[in-house]
Amino acid sequence: MLENIFTPEEISLIQTSFLKICESDCWEIHYNRLFELDPDAIKLFKGDIKDQQHRIMTMMKTVVEGLNNPQIIIPAVQELGKRHYEYNVREEDYELFKESLLYAIEKVLGDEFTPDLKSAWNKFYDVLADVMKSSKY
């Protein structure tokens, strides 16, 4: 499903930038921005938000590293989509999440967040969100 969707250049851009993102406060910026955009979004998260930040970083790391072998990561992304459906995540929630994620990545990377990198991250998120949304059951 993900095979041949991403170019080697896009994969390299995403993987290289993700290393820098992991060593930053990207996830804190991301969730703060998400809750600014939609204060009610906090209701979707159970437990400590720091734990949620760690879980998303771990999952994103798995997916980013797996871009070279997409057949390995697809089941995990599908399972994540099923769980999000059970959590009542709505279509518009995916868009807010994307907006806040790209905002955070840009804040962390600054001038390194080039148009090519932004395009690669947009594509990455859209593909993952599409797989998740199509995996409701």
* pLDDT reading at 2 higher than 60: no
The pLDDT value recorded for residue 113 is 97
The pLDDT value recorded for residue 96 is 92
In a domain, 1, yes or no: no
In a domain, 81, yes or no: yes
In a domain, 58, yes or no: yes
Output the six-digit token pair for 93.
């929630």
Q: Are 93 and 44 in contact (CB under 8 A)?
A: yes
* pLDDT reading at 44 higher than 70: yes
- pLDDT one-digit tens code per residue, 69-106: 878 888 888 888 888 887 778 888 889 999 999 999 99
Question: Which is more confidently placed, 2 or 79?
Answer: 79
* pLDDT reading at 48 higher than 90: no
The pLDDT value recorded for residue 124 is 93
> Helices marked H in the chain — which ranges?
8-22, 26-37, 49-65, 70-86, 91-109, 115-133
Look at the chain and report how many structural domains it folds into.
1
Other beta carbons within 10 angstroms of residue 131's beta carbon come to 20
- pLDDT one-digit tens code per residue, 110-134: 999 999 999 999 999 999 999 888 8
In a domain, 40, yes or no: yes
Q: Give the predicted TM-score (pTM) of the model.
A: 0.87
In a domain, 3, yes or no: no
Q: Are 105 and 121 in contact (CB under 8 A)?
A: yes
Taking all residues of the chain, what is their mean pLDDT, rounded to a whole number? 89
CATH code of the domain containing 84: 1.10.490.10
Look up the domain containing 70 and give its range.
Answer: 8-133
